[in-house]
Amino acid sequence: MDLHQLRAFEKVVETRSFTRAAERLFLTQPAVSHQIRSLEQELGQVLLQREGRTVVPTDAGQVLCEYARRLLRLAEEAEAEMAALRDGESGKVTVASIGTTSTYVLPDLLHEFRVQHPGVQLSLHTAGGEEVKEMVAHNAADLGILGSHTDTREFTAVPLLTDYTMAVVCPQHRCAARRSASLALLAEEPLILLGGWRSWESHVLSLFARAGVRPKVHLQLDSIEAVKRMVERGLGFAMLPQLAIEAEVSTGTLVPLKLTDAPLMRRTILLIHRRDKHISPAMRGFMDLLRVRLQPAGGGDRA
């Protein structure tokens, strides 16, 4: 019993005629008759009988017709769903991202993606860089977004945008007026460290280590917003992603400092996935959106 047989049978019941069923199915009448005979032989039941000039189902045919219609409807739904998956209009995409991009980059992009692809279920999980790697490596996330200070050599990595690590202080800080300071000078003051994410903590501390100084960690908080509020209150300075401080810098509640004894500290925000990952159309749609909106000119895959 296959769908072709069931479709021919259901159409004969609907039209009460082998001839009209054949016309609807764009088949010959002998082809339709052959499918019905094959179906009856396979099931061991007479399914159709003649009443005058019309064809009607037997009791067994009425039972089979109910199932046939349900099966054909399910087949149509399956075909439609497969087409939607193929076209990227349904499916599921799970993304793991560091807090900076989750908070300050992705909201507008997720809204745009949802408007463009309302049938795709998109899930976002925020974690530190190392945790993002683990989620992608173990297929707990399809895609990961993290900073280039995290080792991503085992993944396919695509650069999305450049971010900078900035020293920030409150407007009343002694270095705020000249908007510059050295790491050696800042190391004498309280550092409010964004902790909780191993890769970022290691990144910040390594900057001081390369300058040959050791900072005084006064507070360690796992929220960028909390760190910014502490700095605004004059409780110390912080090293934060430029993406996270743009609003405060524009309103003047935080002042970025140029470091006189260190190069401009940049990192690339990367989109990663497993090298052996099947890229579904839904995933491809999200990746393309990120590339179009964020990727720097000339960016490409990085092994």
Domain ranges, residue 16: 3-86
Give a yes or no: residue 303 inside a domain: no
Determine the residue type at 160: L
Q: What is the mean pLDDT of the chain?
A: 89
In sequence order, the 6+-apart residues with CB closer than 8 A to the CB of 188 are 216
Residue 301: per-residue pLDDT: 40
Of 279 and 299, the one with more pLDDT = 279
DSSP string, 117-177: -TTEEEEEEE--HHHHHHHHHTTS-SEEEEETTS--TTEEEEEEEEEEEEEEE-TTSTTTT
In 1-126, DSSP assigns E strands to 48-51, 54-57, 91-97, 120-126
Same domain, 15 and 56: yes
* Sign of the alpha-carbon torsion through 258, 262, 264, 266: negative
Bridge partners (DSSP) of residue 158 are 271
Q: Could you read off the pLDDT of 100-129 as tens digits, one per residue? A: 999 999 999 999 999 988 888 899 999 888
Q: Could you read off the pLDDT of 216-237 as tens digits, one per residue? A: 999 999 889 999 999 999 999 9
Can you say how many angstroms the Cα of residue 177 is from the centroid of all Cα atoms in its chain?
A: 42
Same domain, 18 and 149: no
Residue 3, pLDDT above cutoff 60: yes
Same domain, 178 and 232: yes
Give the other-Cβ count within 10 Å of 142's Cβ.
25
Of 260 and 297, the one with more pLDDT = 260
The helix (run of H) or strand (run of E) holding residue 192 is strand 190-194
Give a yes or no: residue 301 inside a domain: no
Give a yes or no: residue 300 inside a domain: no
Same domain, 58 and 137: no
Q: Could you read off the pLDDT of 181-211 as tens digits, one per residue? A: 999 999 999 999 987 677 788 888 888 998 8
Residue ranges of alpha helices (H) inside 153-280 are 183-186, 198-210, 224-232, 242-251
Q: Using a cut of 0.85, tell me whether the model's pTM lies above it.
A: no
Same domain, 27 and 107: no
Of 98, 180, 93, 153, nearest to 303 (Cα)? 153
